């Protein structure tokens, strides 16, 4: 049987947007650990946030943060632990979008504009979690408060500086031209797992910024979105339940598949 690796988004996929309850998934995580199946968090959250979740979920695997822009890779027998930066530095992103806002009078706000209390209000996070969410390295989440026409102009202006805009569950994310799949490819083929097509990659997501991750996977899972904003992924498995129960439902379905259905990667040459 090929090595199965699970990559998962957090908000809206593993965690319910309203409750952030995670205890219900712990038995499944323990089962996966016994089976030797690694779970890699792949989220728009910061590294600081993901390290907290990694601890809560009792994981010892890499974490991919800020939509594939930065990751931490644990030490192996042959390599020391490291942090890998793919995206543009946060300070450069902030400087450029502030310039655009001033020049064009476009209406938007981002994490860098808010006090900690405002971050808490906009995210629903408690004090400690909100503080971790502000420790950004390569992306800036924003709330767009202007017209669709100006949103398109904003995207075009970002592209001039090799930046892009991705829609997440709550926010748009200003970031470099990287995505969750870039970091997955790096881990699967070059770092840590280094198993290439011998791996079977399962990915779970629920929103637009998960599309690249889901398209990269051999087994894409789309978790039911309570807002009804579904995404279309060829050959994906769609859950009936929302997070976190939809996540459990999907993993159980894959684990129940015959072994011969998990023995060959459908990804292209690497």
Tens-digit pLDDT profile for residues 232-242: 998 999 999 99
Q: Which of 176, 211, 245 is the last residue of a domain?
A: 176
Find the CATH number of the domain harbouring 188. 3.40.50.1000
Closest CA to 69 of 146, 216, 184: 184
Total structural domains in the chain? 2
Boundary-marking domain end, from 176, 202, 231: 176
pTM beyond 0.85, yes or no: yes
The predicted pLDDT at position 270 comes to: 34
Q: Is residue 71 part of a domain?
A: yes
Same domain for 53 and 10, yes or no, is yes
Same domain, 73 and 107: no
Among 143, 176, 209, the domain-final residue is 176
Q: Percent of the chain at pLDDT above 70?
A: 95
Say how far apart CA 157 and CA 87 lie, in whole Å: 18
**Which tens digit of pLDDT belongs to each residue from 167-188?**
877 899 999 999 999 999 999 9
Q: Is 268 inside any structural domain?
A: no
Angle at CA of residue 37, ends 252 and 80, nearest 5°? 150
Instruction: With beta carbons less than 8 A apart as the criterion, state whether 154 and 100 touch.
Output: yes
Domain extent, residue 138, equals 90-176
CA dist 138 and 85 (Å) reads 8
For 62, counting Cβ atoms within 10 Å of its Cβ (0-12 exposed, 13-18 middle, 19+ buried), the class is buried
Sign of CA dihedral 230, 97, 85, 189: positive
**Is residue 163 located within the same domain as residue 142?**
yes
pLDDT digits (tens, 9 = 90+) for 74-133: 988 778 889 999 999 999 999 999 999 999 999 999 999 999 999 999 998 899 999 999
């Amino acid at each position: 049987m090929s090595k199965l690796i699970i990559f998962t988004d957090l908000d809206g996929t593993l965690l319910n947007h309203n409750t952030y309850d995670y205890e219900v998934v712990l038995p499944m995580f323990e089962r996966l650990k016994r089976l030797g199946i690694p779970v890699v968090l792949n989220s728009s959250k910061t590294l600081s946030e993901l390290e907290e979740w990694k601890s809560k979920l009792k994981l010892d695997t890499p974490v991919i943060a800020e939509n594939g822009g930065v990751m931490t890779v644990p030490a192996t027998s042959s390599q020391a632990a490291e942090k890998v930066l793919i995206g543009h530095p946060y300070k450069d992103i902030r400087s450029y979008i502030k310039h655009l806002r001033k020049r064009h009078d476009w209406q938007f706000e981002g994490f860098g504009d808010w006090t900690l209390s405002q971050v808490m209000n906009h995210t629903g996070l408690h004090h400690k979690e909100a503080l971790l969410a502000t420790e950004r390295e390569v992306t800036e989440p924003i709330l767009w408060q202007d017209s669709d026409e100006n949103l398109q102009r904003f995207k075009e202006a970002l592209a001039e500086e090799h930046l892009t805009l991705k829609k997440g569950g709550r926010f748009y994310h200003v970031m470099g031209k990287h995505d969750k799949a870039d970091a997955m490819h790096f881990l699967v083929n070059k770092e840590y797992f280094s198993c290439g097509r011998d791996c079977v990659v399962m990915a779970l997501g629920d929103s637009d910024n998960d599309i690249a991750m889901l398209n990269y996977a051999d087994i894409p899972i789309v978790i039911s979105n309570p807002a009804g904003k579904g995404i279309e992924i060829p050959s994906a498995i769609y859950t009936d339940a929302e997070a976190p129960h939809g996540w459990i439902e999907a993993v159980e379905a894959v684990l129940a598949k015959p072994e011969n259905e998990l023995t060959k990667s459908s990804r292209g040459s690497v």
